[in-house]
Amino acid sequence: MARAVYRDLLRALNKHVTGNGNNRQFQKFVREEFKKFKDLSDPVLIEQKLSLAKDYAMLVNSVHYHKDLLLSYNIGVDRQAEQQARLKDTAHRVGLQMPKAYEELDKRL
């Protein structure tokens, strides 16, 4: 049980927090906390700690999912920048690149 919670938490941190920036402080903290409480014998305290770890993993995943939803609905994102990114992605999908003149014109505006 504890191993599964530990792995889920590390997986969530690696996917959404530490994976992009190579900043391993959160993973290090989680490892230290799990090592610190590995010899606990009180079942109530163990369940509290595991519940807290599960909740934190769910929070990390949910915040990332919420951020993706906001971006997909274009809330808080500059519409012109979003449209430019979509055009660039569409061109890239069919094997083309956006013309340089168009990009330079966009930078001036």
pLDDT higher at 29 or 101 = 29
19, 13, 4, 3: which is closest to 58 by C-alpha? 13
Give the pLDDT score at 20.
Answer: 65
- Please tell me the pTM assigned to this model: 0.60
Give the pLDDT score at 62.
Answer: 93
What is each CA distance from 15 to 53, 64, 100, in whole angstroms? Answer: 16, 10, 34
Domain ranges of the chain: 2-76, 78-109
Q: What is the pLDDT of residues 51-72, one digit of tens each?
A: 999 999 999 999 989 988 887 7
Residue type (1 letter), 49: K
d(CA 77, CA 89): 17
pLDDT higher at 57 or 109 = 57
Mean pLDDT of the chain: 82
Tokens read off for 24: 């391993």
Mean pLDDT of 74-99: 78
Give the pLDDT score at 51.
Answer: 93
Q: What is the pLDDT of residues 13-26, one digit of tens each?
A: 888 787 666 677 88
Tokens read off for 84: 């430019």
- Count Cβ atoms below 10 Å from residue 2 Cβ, excluding itself: 14
- Cβ atoms of 96 and 48 within 8 Å: the answer is no
